[in-house]
Amino acid sequence: MNRRFITLTLALMLLVVGVNAQKIKGSDSVLPLSQKLAEAYAKSGGRASVTGGGSGVGIAALMDGSTDIAQSSRKMKFGERAKLIAKKKKIEEVVVAYDALAVVVNPNNKVSKLTRQQLEDIFTGKITNWKQVGGDDMRIIVYSRETSSGTYEFFKELVLKNKNYKASVLSMPATGAIIQSIKQTKGAIGYVGLAYLNSEVKTINVSFDEKNFYAPTLENSKNGTYPIVRPLLYYYDINKTKVVNPFKNFVLSAKGQSIVSQVGYIPVK
């Protein structure tokens, strides 16, 4: 076999791999899951590049064609769908996992449980001191994800009942930044996905009926007792189905769903 033929064969193989590579972009909540899935997918011979930036960023990338899959921690908005239709893109939605949002505070905060109404009042600015909810006389400092985040949208819709966040809320570009800020600020409160929980923050038990309080654990999220649970989604243009299918099918396979559990999310099956 001559050298020229070998070189041409290798070039064609690289071209095929490049064509089949998946580009995934969007939600920082879905990011650690997609990264682990991409690592496992690579071991089976596939290729996928994964970046974060927020659900809105991923959906915008889907609109301009710079990503194959938009990963999102919220449902696509009506306006986003309208723009995609205007671009003659028909979008497929796939639930790849479920996630619970944990409300977290500094480990030195003695408050351990809050009702949905109290959370609404804290995040909208009606409650401003921890002594109002049984804690120390200490100003509450509220951290949130920025507006492009699907986590921001979901928390606003489910917990705040679509009321606006307080004007002085501190918006963070990524979930990791919320963890670090709360770790360093005694009066802080925020929310993060289950996969981001660590010993640097303390979780709050939550009640939506003002009677029964539940911790944000995987078990409580699976059995439906913990109330702040959401689907994690992949969106893609059906014209890219052949490109997307190998990775999507891997994610939904038994192997892929076992990785969902390992990362700390809830499998769809």
135: domain CATH number is: 3.40.190.10
The whole-number pLDDT of residue 12 equals 37
Residue 135 located in a structural domain: yes
Q: What is the pLDDT of residue 4?
A: 52
**Domain presence at residue 127:** yes
Q: What pLDDT does 148 receive?
A: 84
* Integer Cα distance of 202 and 197 in angstroms: 9
**Domain count of the fold of the chain:** 2
- CA dist 237 and 26 (Å) reads 15
Whether 211 and 106 share a structural domain: yes
Residues of the chain with pLDDT under 70: 1-20
Whether residue 255 lies inside any domain: the answer is yes
Shared-domain flag, residues 203 and 173: yes
User: Do 8 and 84 fall within a single domain?
Assistant: yes
* pLDDT value for 20: 59
pLDDT for the residue numbered 194:
87
The whole model's pTM is what? 0.80
- Domain for residue 269, yes or no? no
Residues 29, 9 share a domain: yes
pLDDT of residue 7: 41
Q: Give yes or no: residues 212 and 118 share one domain.
A: yes
Q: Which domain holds residue 244?
A: 3-98+232-263
Together in a domain, 124 and 219 = yes
Radius of gyration of the CA atoms of the chain, in A = 21
Which residues neighbour 209 within 8 Å (Cβ) at sequence distance 6 or greater?
none
Distances in whole angstroms, Cα of residue 179 to Cα of each of 57, 85, 176: 22, 38, 5
- Decide if 268 is inside a domain: no
